Amino acid sequence: MEHLLFVYGTLRRGEINHALLGSSRCESFLAVMPGSLYDTGRGYPAMAEGKGEAEGAGIVCGEIYRVDEETLARIDDLEDYYGPGDPRNLYERVERTARTDRGETDVLVYVSDKLRAGPEIPFGEWKLYRMAKKPALPYFVYDGCMEDGPIKMADVIGRGAVYGCQVRFTRHVSGGVRADMVETGGVTQGILYRIPVEALEGSLYRREEVRTGICRPAVVPVTLDSGEVADALTFVAAEKQPETAPKK
């Protein structure tokens, strides 16, 4: 029997426990679901149900994998999950609904109220939370967003592509409509930059209308011309709107 599993922390691609998923197929890397995310201080996060108070609170960002029973048993061991309602459980494994760009889907996810004492993670995005602790981070600007002008204080790494996504005009902003990256198949081309972390608060969140709830930060796998794959920050519509042709 196979299951859809939503992962949000160290099981995500490029994270330390990702290998436990083996050959499980990734069904979505831009999935979100309601909840709040906390830094346990142990090198991994914990998801709690209910909206928190951090910036961008209310969703948890993650990836969905199709896993078999053997893989699920390995994850149960990792998460200290012994069975429904077992007092030894560090996490509970529950079935909830996640949202992808193809629609909603029921998934399994590990949640824990026992570990929510640590700081809440902004935007429910573990990868970005870790990236933002460094002086600089990679930032992917996809085709269709280039008209916003050059990125200040940015170094160009090179051209790149995100596979599994396409550019659609489903991001409605105060000035009209802008390009959005939608995970419905295809390839999205763009430029990968390296930006100082202070650019997030200094200009990018304002430029991308993050604080008005129009867009949300996301971390995506960017394939460079060299074949190297790097996680990078980008921005997507928080709520997809009907596609509208941009004004010329």
Q: Is 208 a catalytic residue?
A: yes
In angstroms, how far is CA 41 from the centroid of its own chain? 20
Residue 72 CB neighbours (<10 A): 18
Q: CA-to-CA distance for 101 and 245, rounded, in angstroms?
A: 19
Question: Are the C-beta atoms of residues 198 and 175 closer than 8 Å to each other?
Answer: no
Which residue in the list 92, 208, 209, 228 is annotated as catalytic?
A: 208
- E strands, the chain, are 2-7, 25-39, 45-48, 58-68, 92-100, 103-111, 136-142, 155-163, 166-173, 176-182, 187-196, 215-224, 229-237
Positions marked active-site: 208
